[in-house]
Copies of this chain bind each other. A is one copy, B any other.
Amino acid sequence: MFKIKDLLIQNGIKPTFQRIKILEYLQKNDTHPTVETIYSDLYKKVPTLSKATIYNTLDIFRKHSLVNVLTISETEMRYEFNHGPHHHFQCRVCGKIVDVEVECPHSMKPVLEGYILEEVHSYFKGVCRNCNTAQSA
Contact = CB atoms under 8 A, between A and B. Distances in A.
Contacts of A122: 106, 120-123
A41 interface: no
Find the residue from A105, A121, A128 having the highest chain B CB count within 10 A. A121
A100 to B, nearest CB: 6
A121 to B, nearest CB: 5
Q: How many copies does the complex hold?
A: 2
A113 to B, nearest CB: 7
Nearest to A113: B129
Interface stretch (A14-22, A31-39, A49-57, A65-73): A65-73
- Which interface class (under 10, 10 to 19, 20 to 34, 35 or more) fits A? 35 or more
25 contacts: A69-B74, A71-B71, A71-B72, A87-B108, A89-B112, A89-B115, A92-B118, A100-B111, A101-B111, A102-B106, A102-B108, A103-B105, A104-B104, A104-B106, A104-B107, A106-B124, A108-B124, A112-B129, A113-B129, A116-B132, A119-B124, A120-B124, A121-B123, A121-B124, A121-B125
Given A103-B105, A116-B126, A117-B126, 12 more contacts: A69-B74, A71-B71, A102-B106, A102-B107, A103-B107, A104-B105, A105-B105, A108-B124, A113-B129, A115-B126, A121-B124, A122-B123
